[in-house]
Structure 1
Amino acid sequence: MKFKLSILSSACLAAMLSTSAYAEPGNLVGTLSDSNKQVYFEGAQVKIKELNLTTQTRRDGTFRFNNIEAGNYTLEISYLGAAPIVKTIFIEENKTLKSEFTLTENNTVTEDIVVYGQRAGQAGALNMQRSADSIKSIVSSDAIGQFPDQNVAEALQRLPGLSIERDQGEGRFVGIRGLDPNLNNVTVNGVNIPSPEAGVRSVALDVFPSELVEGLEVSKSVTPDMDADAIGGSVEIKSLSAFDRAGESASVTLQASQNQLRSDTSPKVSASYTNRYSFGNIDDVLGIAAAVSWSDRDFGSDNIESNGDDEVEQRHYKINRERLGTAVNLDYRPDFNNQYYLRTLYSQFSDTEFRQANAFTFAGDDSEIERSSKDRFEEQQIFSISAGAEHQIEQWLLTYQAGYSKSSEDEPEALNYAFKTDGFAISSDLLGQIPQVEQQTGTTKLANYALDEIEYANNQANDKEYSFKFDLAKDLTFLNHPSQIKFGSKYRSREKQQTTQVTFFDGDFDDIDSGMFADTSPEWGLGEFGDGLNKRELRRFFNSQRANLDVAQLDSDIESRGESFINEEDIFAAYVMGKIDIDQLRIVAGFRYEKTQFSTSGHRVELIEDELSDLEQLDVTPWQVERDYDYLLPSVNVRYNISEKLISRFAYTQTISRPKFEESAAFQIIESKTAEDDDGVATTEREASVGNPDLKPFESDNIDFTIEYYPGGIGVLSAGYFYKDISNFVIYADVADQPQWQGFDEVIQPINGDKATLQGIEFSWLKTFENGLLLAANATFSDSEAVTLLDGERFETSLPNQADRVGNLTVGYEDEKWNLRLTMTHKSENLEEIDGDLLLMEDSHQQLDFSSKYYINQNMNLYFNAINITDEPFYNYFSERSRNAQYEEYGRTFELGFTWKM
């Protein structure tokens, strides 16, 4: 396969350097819009029949053919849901023909497509999917507004093979084909987005309000001009551009929502504006687009957790989440051969959480209860800016882009309290999804507890990246077939920093009456909770008494120094790829080379406690590791049009995914304790939690095959098979038996697994009917096998965070006044991690949502959404479903809103 790809690339390169066979060729530049020139159509297939030249319209409706011999030709334009356009064109020597085309000619259904949401959204997405060179799933801007989705993650879950991981009931991370979200690549306007969360690579897509997005594109197979770190896939977020729309446009949305569990009402406001300004010459145009979205949501959850053995914890959450997102984009096009752009995106996500908890430890007469609080404010910010240009220089297309993006997560002045008591009789059988606790009278009163510890923290994470890339492409003819050669390079420089500052106060609490912190019992729907904790009084007491509290300095230092690190990553990439059309066959093939220079710096922190010599000290040693690695990654994507309605695709790609930053960070937290046992013999227990800078990236060989049938109108029926052969996947394990950890009782460290395979099938069906009915269903069935060899023992499991079944079902109806949708999403159970001798499993999740719109007129509508109609909980368990690990309820959410568009 590699040899064949090399031949193709070399041949295309040789043809590129050869003299063109045509004398004084001409060019064609076109635009596809509706009759009013208010809507542009992306993804339409455009073909010059006599030359077998094919291209597709871009997001601004434009298309281009270069290097065409003078003469008469037949131009065919096809767009799902509309009648085809067939025109005769004449190309003159050394001239560029500029033409405008509208779908309304010979067409009676286009107005239904472009005016209202469901048909417009589905038509746009399907046309882009049909014309793509690789295997893609797409959400258009019109489709995003048809679901009750609060952010980008929830909008993506509707696509075939995609699922989401939720936090407090909201979608945050996106998994592709059931794989871990850390195995995806996320870009915004072509710029890689670093993760604001400490230690991870996966981007929590709930920080992006869906109102700022013009389109979402998920590539399940990559081409050489794309980043290689995409074993799961690549997610591209496209923000609004003035050239997405014609002339001036504006929109405003007002919304109120209510969470049933906490009975709170929350506001949301969003707006957008675009316009174009001409400077004399009709082709000299400046476009300005701006969008803003703000929401302030109050909600919560009821939770109960256990360790599967001897502990149960009850938790009550009250949460406020505020989102602010803005985008300002500029596009300047002095003529049809040159384009310049500036893209900006800013997102701020704040999360205020007050958690109250009761933790029960069952040990007979030594049983213990801890009542605790977690009072924290967390703010995440993402800023991205990119500037670039596109130049058509004779037959060469040059594009380049410089980008900067920064993400941060700040957790200032987090305050956690812990109160303890013992001597009370408590018991639980720990059975069922919601384990019940029997407790003696008095355990529910906070006055019967003693203040045990206060934790105060200021934590911060920063992740920033600079990038530059260029691409150079030329259309040519190779062996009498239309072809293209393309090559380019990209450089990325990234720094991830995690800073932890924690102070523990654990003494001089004897004179404190815990009853002073008591509050009314919170509304907790899973059983009896007891006294609540007064958030204001807890904060007031700490602020006034902080100077008088005893600091546990060693415990504070070990966590603060041990959990702080800096990782740096420089990635240089270069690629070459060729494209050729042989009748109905299109082949895109080439190589991508990526070299990574990685460094990490942190500390080896050891807490030494020796009761025999009354010694207690902390040893801190700097630790820094540098390494580099490189990959040469081939890929081939093949598309064969069996007929106008039937398309088959095949892809073979090699991809990688680099480890999480927290996994490869240079840190070691060690605790050594020496004491006499019952026989008077001195013994030392040593435990450690350590990073692994020597982790190798995931490596994967991927095979994809799909077949797509477009029966006419707006609809598709598709089926696909995928296979991934993955090596070096990462798991957490106890490596105390390894030679370098001799003398340790337990050492938890991320290590590379041996090998894993993932294979599955994917089905999708979508159909819109003339009577307004819409039906859509998709399902992905997959299976993984992972083998890890540890200390000579063979462990066989599935891949962590990989779900075997993912699916969506949608029933919709639309006419001139109403737009209705009932949707169901399903994700099957999956393995989270191996916890000792137990498997921690995430249970299946199935959620039902409803959305409706009433069109007052073409510019205004009212909408109502109902989210999580069946009040589906989140549930984790240990090995067996009756063995609770975590059960959490979120309640239903209802939204009522108004939208105006110009």
Structure 2
Amino acid sequence: MKYRLTPLAKATLLACSLTLVTPVSAADNGMIVGQLSNADNSRVFAGARVTIKELNLSTESRRDGSFHFAALPAGNYTLQASYLGAQPFTQVVTVEEGEINTLTITLSSGNNAIADILVRGQRSGQASAINQQRVADNISSVVSADAIGQFPDQNAAESLQRLPGLSIERDQGEGRFVGIRGIDPNLNNVTINGLNIPSPESGVRSVALDVIPSELIQTLEVSKSVTSDMDADAIGGTIAVKSVSAFDHKEDTASLTIQGSQNTLRDKTSPKLSGSMTHKFSQQVGIAAALSWFDREFGSDNIESNGDDELEQRFYTINRERLGGAVNLDYRPDFNNQYFIRTLYSEFSDDEYRQGNIFTFDEEDSEIARESKDRYETQSIFTVTAGGEHQLDVWDLAWQLGYAKSDEDEPDALYYTFITENASIDADLATSIPQVVQNNDAMDLSTYDLDEISFEDNYTKDVETSVKIDIKRAVDYGRYKGEIKFGTKYRSREKDRNSQIFIYDGDVAGIDSATFGTSAPDWGLGEFGPGLNRQLLRENFNESRSELELVALDSELESKGASYVNEEDIFAAYAMTSVDIGKLHIVAGLRYEITDFSTRGMRVELVADEQADIEQVVNTPWESARDYDYLLPSVNLRYSISEDVIIRAAFTQTLSRPSFEDVAAYQIIETTTQEEEGGFVTEREATVGNPLLNPYEADNFDLSVEYYPGDIGVLSAGLFYKKIDNFIVYADVAGSEEWVGYDEVVQAINGSSADLSGIELSWVKAFNNGFLVSANSTFSTSDATTLFDGEEIDMSLPNQSDRVGNLTVGYEANDWSLRLTMSYKSENLEELDGDMIRIEDDHQQVDFMAKYFINEDMQIYFNAINLNDEPFYHYFDQRDRNAQYEEYGRTFQLGFTWQIR
């Protein structure tokens, strides 16, 4: 059990406890409730600041434009509402004892505000996001649904890359994982409608956001500093995905999008359909639904090496299909009570056929392997959340029940390997795109022998159930107004990994490798040679499987060693308070989290003993369990120098639990005893999990200034610093107390510490002449310590880029909307590979979007993705030494949208 009661934590705990003895009296008080919309009720305004001038009491409008003030003494008050892009609103309201004043506030446009005609364009989306950022208690960035629609982004990950400090990791040219300020995506927390989302991928915590189509999203919010009512496992930050609700709009809405796209590298056309609707059956009941389907045909050309004596050519053809849907129900019998059910389902399937040539250069012993990978994989995420919000006199109560399931299914994956010896091959690996010199025999499949066949069934399931309760009320600190909030949350999670791997010896009589040959793929990085026919390989395996010789020991080793079950129960409780002291808004609190963790797996040892003439696999069940707890303070400060200038500061403590594979109970051990120089020598190597890993711990400091110059715009600058303890690294722990007598044991262990510091700059501006500019950049540096060959090495954080930036230039007219974007991420350290450093090269991508509005309801659009045909490139030590070079080509999209709102 671990407690971290720093002096700051003790002071914060005392501040929270004091609030309990200074409540606002509920007797004979009145209430003001209201909603903000535009003149024709076509939209509501989220993130507006609403203030009662005489009480210096402020609140923010919620996503449906609503707000309320409870426990107000009787009297006359001046109500003010401000929203960037709209004219200020002022109204005098008389509050009577025991009465509820219900207001409908119309925010109107002016010469320098949102014109109604631009509601359909980029400006309204920017205005909504900027206003929500301005009134937030913490340091955050927001992407609204309107803004998402103004980028040529294919999923949630690509929508987030436009925000300051955010970058994405790509797979096959498409954004998947989101990094915040250079931190590993495994150290972020992702929620959908307030529900923590388990990862469908084996071994990791990070959620690949490409499984969430952008059409299902109402807002994306990235919190870079946490408050105590948020989950603590967010060293990088928290990404909150919120799906659509009927009460996000004043009137019913509907939309339909039809799109076709083409990838130039594979010259394939891909269809996409999506639609959404919101409907209110009455003022109390509403439904929102969205559906999206995208069937994408594409591929990539790849060449990679180990930087020394091995080179691999890869040719990918991929069909990637996404199906996503959401149905959300809201019941609001009155202003004081709200009930909701939120559901989201997303299925992502990836049908991949990869052909590869592996060249091993060893003079007379050089050889070539021609391989195929035939794999169909599906990932799915299903979430359902039920909850309610209740105004009970002066108390606000919110509760939520949640269930989330993610899984990854990879059935019947088939791998073929053909091999031949060929002394003629040669290549210069000290270049970004190495070329192989090979003779005619290398191009003749009849010279190859079938070496190995592998058949795999892999399945991962990650399930989490949760319940949480939040309670808050207004309090008085003498003449200052404030609020207390406390609550609890319980999460129960189980992650299972099950693998069945069958490895077959390729020594089968009568097989002519040439019968599987097909024409050479259209591979653009050099000479590839003959291809392998996918259908013939699959048919051959199905027909001859009974005749193949199973390599039983290797199959058992791989299967048992890759399977495990992890269980994790987290209980959290928090108390926090906020208070306005003049222009200073303080939010401070404490969060307590206790984690019970257990893991079940297998210790699998392959024993090959020539001396005793033994060859066997020994399986031993392995279980481990532990618990740990933390008490974590957070303080967020917001000081409004004026309506236009805001200074923010934050100190928070956060944690991130180890990835599931690192902490799983598995051991894969190979013990070999063989004769050498007249005697027998035993060598032992192992790859093992570490159930006793401690979580990452971080102290986070933030300071920023934001300037809102009026209209729609913001200019901001921020400093951040993170000190991370228990940094997890991979090390060879052979020879340690538990691993005496081993030659090599690779295991994740807790290292010393790491530091990350940097500055974020951002400028967003919508000009009156229709031009729009958005620019942001993040400059950071990091220091971390890792172990290599038993020695400590100082390095930067893995996957941390020193420079990340985005530039967008747009133009709005009555009938046109144009946007040109550029995203940039500088090089970063990926890993230590042997005695070399593997580095991901910088990446700069240019995209373009154009829309033409046929009328108020219909538009056509054109997107061009990766206009500059930017490849993906890794290198060893020096930029001209290839580790991986992959190109994807350009993608062009043409679509039509019909929209009523």
1:642 aligned onto 2:646:
no
Partner of 2:869: 871
CA contact (8 A) 1:424 1:440 kept: no
| Inter-partner Cα distance in structure 2 for 1:15 and 1:565 | 47
Distance 1:105 1:304, change over 3 A: closer
Determine which of 678, 692, 697 is the counterpart of 1:680: 678
Offset of 1:113 from its aligned partner? 7.1
Offset of 1:507 from its aligned partner? 4.2
| Inter-partner Cα distance in structure 1 for 2:112 and 2:696 | 52
Partner of 1:788: 786
Distance 1:108 1:825, change over 3 A: closer
Determine which of 244, 265, 269 is the counterpart of 2:248: 244
Distance 1:512 1:893, change over 3 A: same
Give the match's secondary structure for 2:446: helix
Distance 1:108 1:702, change over 3 A: closer
Partner of 2:896: 898
Give the match's secondary structure for 2:524: coil
Partner of 2:734: 736
Matches within 5 A, 1:367-382: 367-382=366-381
Offset of 1:8 from its aligned partner? 5.2
* Mean Cα deviation higher: 115-124 or 187-196: 115-124
Partner of 1:521: 520
Partner of 1:396: 395
Determine which of 105, 108, 115 is the counterpart of 1:101: 105
Amino acid of the structure 1 residue aligned with 2:379: Q
| Inter-partner Cα distance in structure 1 for 2:452 and 2:775 | 52
Determine which of 122, 134, 150 is the counterpart of 2:126: 122
Partner of 1:40: 44
Distance 1:4 1:376, change over 3 A: closer
| Inter-partner Cα distance in structure 2 for 1:316 and 1:402 | 46
Partner of 2:699: 701
Determine which of 804, 807, 810 is the counterpart of 2:805: 807
Give CA-to-partner distance per residue, 1:627-668, whole Å, 9 cap, x none: 110000000000000111100000000000011100101111
| Inter-partner Cα distance in structure 2 for 1:596 and 1:25 | 43
Matches within 5 A, 1:428-467: 428-467=427-466
Give CA-to-partner distance per residue, 1:516-560, whole Å, 9 cap, x none: 100110010000000000000000111111111111110100000
Matches within 5 A, 1:497-896: 497-677=496-676, 679-788=677-786, 793-896=791-894
CA contact (8 A) 1:452 1:509 kept: no
Amino acid of the structure 2 residue aligned with 1:268: K
Partner of 2:206: 202
Partner of 2:480: 481
CA contact (8 A) 2:594 2:628 kept: yes
Matches within 5 A, 1:84-483: 84-104=88-108, 109-112=113-116, 115-278=119-282, 285-483=284-482
Give the match's secondary structure for 2:878: coil
Give CA-to-partner distance per residue, 1:359-412, whole Å, 9 cap, x none: 000111111110000000000010000000001000000000000000000001
Offset of 1:747 from its aligned partner? 1.4
CA contact (8 A) 2:730 2:787 kept: no
| Inter-partner Cα distance in structure 2 for 1:542 and 1:598 | 42
Amino acid of the structure 2 residue aligned with 1:513: D
Partner of 1:281: none
1:64 aligned onto 2:72:
no
* Mean Cα deviation higher: 627-636 or 834-843: 834-843
| Inter-partner Cα distance in structure 2 for 1:19 and 1:309 | 71
CA contact (8 A) 1:307 1:885 kept: yes
| Inter-partner Cα distance in structure 2 for 1:105 and 1:269 | 35
CA contact (8 A) 2:784 2:795 kept: yes
Give CA-to-partner distance per residue, 1:424-482, whole Å, 9 cap, x none: 41111211111111112220121110001110001000000000000000012112111
Amino acid of the structure 1 residue aligned with 2:620: T
| Inter-partner Cα distance in structure 1 for 2:95 and 2:26 | 13
CA contact (8 A) 1:737 1:791 kept: no
Distance 1:816 1:151, change over 3 A: same
Unaligned residue ranges in structure 2 (runs of 5+): none
Give the match's secondary structure for 1:110: coil
| Inter-partner Cα distance in structure 1 for 2:810 and 2:123 | 11
| Inter-partner Cα distance in structure 2 for 1:108 and 1:416 | 63
CA contact (8 A) 2:63 2:248 kept: yes
Give CA-to-partner distance per residue, 1:486-541, whole Å, 9 cap, x none: 00000000000000100011144232100110011001000000000000000011
Give CA-to-partner distance per residue, 1:664-687, whole Å, 9 cap, x none: 01111111111122x222112221
| Inter-partner Cα distance in structure 1 for 2:504 and 2:787 | 42
CA contact (8 A) 2:211 2:348 kept: yes
Distance 1:16 1:98, change over 3 A: farther
- Aligned-CA RMSD value: 1.4
Offset of 1:728 from its aligned partner? 1.1
| Inter-partner Cα distance in structure 2 for 1:834 and 1:11 | 47
Offset of 1:423 from its aligned partner? 3.5
CA contact (8 A) 2:186 2:659 kept: yes
CA contact (8 A) 2:310 2:361 kept: yes
| Inter-partner Cα distance in structure 1 for 2:370 and 2:662 | 32
| Inter-partner Cα distance in structure 1 for 2:858 and 2:614 | 74
| Inter-partner Cα distance in structure 2 for 1:334 and 1:13 | 34
Q: Calculate the TM-score normalised by the size of structure 2.
A: 0.98
Amino acid of the structure 2 residue aligned with 1:187: T
CA contact (8 A) 1:454 1:504 kept: yes
CA contact (8 A) 1:754 1:789 kept: no
CA contact (8 A) 1:179 1:803 kept: no
Offset of 1:792 from its aligned partner? 6.2
| Inter-partner Cα distance in structure 2 for 1:790 and 1:492 | 37
4+ runs deviating over 6 angstroms:
105-108
Distance 1:792 1:549, change over 3 A: closer
CA contact (8 A) 1:658 1:696 kept: yes
Amino acid of the structure 1 residue aligned with 2:28: E
Amino acid of the structure 2 residue aligned with 1:701: D
Distance 1:294 1:830, change over 3 A: same
Offset of 1:12 from its aligned partner? 5.0
Offset of 1:15 from its aligned partner? 4.2
CA contact (8 A) 1:424 1:439 kept: no
Offset of 1:830 from its aligned partner? 1.1
Distance 1:15 1:575, change over 3 A: closer
Offset of 1:217 from its aligned partner? 0.2
CA contact (8 A) 2:450 2:507 kept: no
Offset of 1:2 from its aligned partner? 4.9
Give the match's secondary structure for 2:895: strand
Amino acid of the structure 2 residue aligned with 1:850: F
Give CA-to-partner distance per residue, 1:75-131, whole Å, 9 cap, x none: 111000111011111111111100000112767733347622210010000000000
Amino acid of the structure 1 residue aligned with 2:873: Y
Percent identity, aligned pairs only, is 61
| Inter-partner Cα distance in structure 2 for 1:20 and 1:647 | 28
1:80 aligned onto 2:60:
no
Distance 1:15 1:781, change over 3 A: closer
